[in-house]
Amino acid sequence: MSSISLPARCDRAATEALLPELIAALGSGPLHIDARDCQQVGQAMLQLLVSARQTGEGAVILASAALRETAELAGLSEELFAGADA
């Protein structure tokens, strides 16, 4: 099982920096994304997280309150957290 931790500020730059690591991790079994420290989440990161959930075996996201609130506002709560132990 692979694990990736997200930074407090999940903007486009953080998303671009994380992309290669995420791609590598998705090919090696279940992925856990620790997003408990996220305080700011941008659209690019939301798109990346949705993609991670839909790729391969999917990803389990351990979310901060800020990520959950942003996902709710974007209408992505079900997509990001349904059926996960997040």
- Render pLDDT for 6-33 as a digit per residue (tens, 0 to 9): 999 999 999 999 999 998 888 777 889 9
d(CA 64, CA 79): 16
Q: How many helices (H) and strands (E) does the chain have?
A: 4, 5
| Predicted model pTM | 0.89
34 bridge partner residues:
5, 62
Those residues whose C-beta lies under 8 Å from the C-beta of residue 66, and which sit 6 or more positions away, are 38, 39, 40, 41
Q: At what angle do helices 43-54 and 12-26 cross, to 10 degrees?
A: 10
Residue 34 confidence (pLDDT) = 96
- Render pLDDT for 34-73 as a digit per residue (tens, 0 to 9): 999 999 999 999 999 999 999 878 899 999 999 999 999 9
